[in-house]
Chain A
């Protein structure tokens, strides 16, 4: 879209095609032209020769019947005719009797000669001549100016050139016209695609009702979009159904455990078991809630909660809330927050995003680690970072930490759903932020770029529904793994441990753009 219209026209397939046809047609026109030209030239040559032959025939007859003097007179007369040929008549001694041709060839037959005459400038004139010897040593030469043939060639080539030029201009104009029509149709499709990417799933390619190729393609695309829309709707329906289907029985399980807990004898083994079961149930429910929440955020329907928020105040509140807890856990948390920076977004979700980053930093660093939160305005955008000096994350794993259930190999198995940073990614995408994880040398640095240039009503790609069934499978796997870890350190548990986590394929660049 950044190119001007002329350049875009030239880059279209139809214009390229028009250009190709124009070149091929021009080439065939040139070939045709030269064939015609050669034929015309040959015919002109034949006519010239025939005329000279005829002239010689007449003059030879004259010579035979009337004699040399009469022939000389006849030649002098003919010289003055309009469009006359060139003549030369000499006696046996070579003395000129009549005619204007200078220095003609002495041998009989056809030849082309060049004559430089002062009145014609420094360029010679060319003549085609035929020499015949008459009786008594008389020599007659008749010739014609080849310049007339040049005139024909020049006229012909000129005409061909103009025709070619007109031809090219017309072809290019037709190509441009065709291409702009083509571009309009393509642009209509592109606009529809953009609208769909922006979340308007009901958008369709407009039809012209002409039933041409484009209309048929558009209709096919529209049918495909209808189908995708239907699938997406049923997927989100399915994910909602799963959420309800699983949360309701889990909720009842929790209620029953609580009733059992309330009615069991205090401090008995039964009570501790029920407490552990309640904890496990809460963990499972947490995982489901987090998954559904991420899916809900990713579906992009939560922009209703967007307001103008004081981002500086929000960052201060969250980092202040965490700093004392971090200190109690043996980490230091410092905040460098520029004042009065505003942003358009969902304050609750951004608080949760920052809290998850801080949770993550506190949980994955050793005692004595230093964590720094910063928020600055770098002119055009707000840049937030959460950096620690802990063990960090290997380069190859840095993008994956934002995926669901991802854990860095060899990291301590800590409590949590494994979904904290996925929520960070989902909230960032909802707000059109860019985010990335980099090396803090040592440690991990997560950078968030709040772009204030756009009002963030843009909806993200809906990955939620696509990923949900996959994620539920993960959740089941994760729950099974935790369960088995607690139950026994048996072979089955070990086998499950070794099962590699399936990952969603993601972009290969370190910077994840939205």
Chain B
């Protein structure tokens, strides 16, 4: 994917773009807000990573301008300020996701991947498939290999999120935010527990495991290759 990084802290910008390049993506970095706005307005980026506090133009203003210009690139805010008000402000300005500095690169990458490959809003999926696992979003039913899998409503949402991001790593915090709407990090292993239950339900009867743990990153659901 093509990523534009608008960040005035050179070290953070280098860290992000180096990491992205190592993972095989194209990354452009710019430290000035106005310049960043120009580049973003070109519309050739899949994702724009923008710092909330920039010299010249405020990060929120950039995103508002980019959105008003009809640019569809996904936007992820970076900030040293943490907090719910900041998150809401960022999302209201047209941002798609939000990450508080400092962050683990794996967390950023997982979020960028999720943003970059969002299906277009017009295309509504009614059935999700990973190998022989099938989720019917209308009937709220999950089948594997022809057999129904009974899931709790929350487990259904968890599996749905994993399947929508099939083959891409999702992190614990992404799951907490999207599945439970928890914008904090509980000390209790909520995600681990639910993943482990889901895993045993999906791979019951000695079937092949589809949900995998990626150490230090999170989880992924993928077809056995």
Contact = CB atoms under 8 A, between A and B. Distances in A.
B80 A244 contact: yes
Contacts of B80: 244, 247-248, 251
B102 A328 contact: no
Nearest to A261: B216
B188 A252 contact: no
A322 interface: yes
B193 to A, nearest CB: 4
B180 A317 contact: yes
A321 interface: yes
B12 A255 contact: yes
Interface stretch (B81-89, B124-132, B203-211): B81-89
B27 to A, nearest CB: 15
B125 to A, nearest CB: 25
A165 interface: no
A262 B217 CA distance: 13
A254 B184 contact: no
A292 B101 CA distance: 14
Given A302-B85, A346-B84, A326 B188 contact: yes
Contacts of A252: 11-12, 102
Contact of B82 (A289, A321, A346): A289
Contact of B104 (A258, A292, A416): A258
Interface string B98-132: 00111011000000000000000000000000000
B197 interface: yes
Interface string B161-199: 000000000000000000011111111111011101100
A293 interface: yes
A100 interface: no
Given A251-B12, A293-B82, A325 B180 contact: no
Contacts, number: 103
B15 interface: yes
A66 interface: no
Contact of A328 (B15, B154, B189): B189
Contacts of A325: 188-190, 192-194
Interface in B46-105: 80, 82-85, 88, 100-102, 104-105
Interface residues of B, number: 36
Given A255-B12, A328-B189, A302 B101 contact: no
Interface stretch (A26-34, A208-216, A356-364): A356-364
Interface string A340-367: 0000001011011001101100110000
Contacts of A305: 84-85, 88
B12 A416 contact: no
Contacts of B193: 324-325, 327-328
A317 B181 CA distance: 9
Contacts of B85: 301-302, 304-305
Contacts of A351: 181-182, 184
B187 A322 contact: no
A363 B102 contact: no
A415 B187 contact: yes
A321 B190 CA distance: 6
A115 B185 CA distance: 110
A255 B15 contact: yes
A296 interface: yes
Contacts of A328: 189, 193, 196
Contact of A247 (B11, B22, B102): B102
B82 A363 contact: no
Given A244-B80, A305-B88, A251 B101 contact: yes
Nearest to B100: A289
Contact of B184 (A250, A355, A362): A355
Given A304-B85, A355-B186, A358-B188, A285 B15 contact: no
A270 to B, nearest CB: 15
A248 to B, nearest CB: 7
Given A251-B12, A258-B105, A321-B190, A349 B84 contact: yes
B184 A352 contact: yes
Nearest to A275: B216
Interface string A253-276: 011001100100000000000010
Contact of B102 (A285, A292, A302): A285
B151 to A, nearest CB: 13
A74 interface: no
B82 A292 contact: yes
Interface in B134-170: 154
Given A258-B105, A292-B82, A324-B194, A359 B186 contact: yes
A320 interface: yes
Contacts of A359: 186-188
A412 to B, nearest CB: 14
A292 B181 CA distance: 22
Nearest to A349: B84
A57 interface: no
Given A247-B102, A322-B190, A262 B22 contact: yes
Most buried by A among B82, B181, B183, B188: B188
A45 interface: no
A321 B105 contact: no
Interface in B3-29: 9, 11-12, 15, 18-19, 22
A420 interface: yes
Most buried by A among B18, B185, B193: B193
Contact of B188 (A259, A292, A320, A329): A329
Nearest to B88: A305
A266 to B, nearest CB: 11
Contact of A293 (B83, B105, B194, B197): B83
Nearest to B106: A258
Given A248-B80, A301-B85, 13 more contacts: A252-B12, A254-B104, A255-B12, A296-B83, A302-B84, A321-B186, A324-B197, A325-B192, A352-B184, A355-B186, A356-B186, A363-B187, A363-B188
21 contacts: A244-B80, A248-B80, A251-B80, A251-B101, A252-B12, A254-B102, A255-B15, A255-B102, A259-B18, A305-B88, A324-B190, A324-B193, A325-B192, A325-B194, A346-B84, A348-B183, A351-B182, A351-B184, A359-B187, A363-B188, A416-B187
Interface of A: 244, 247-248, 250-252, 254-255, 258-259, 262, 275, 285-286, 289, 292-293, 296, 301-302, 304-305, 317, 320-322, 324-329, 346, 348-349, 351-352, 355-356, 358-359, 362-363, 415-416, 420
The 7 closest A-B pairs by CB, nearest first: A251-B102, A325-B193, A352-B184, A359-B187, A255-B15, A355-B186, A325-B188
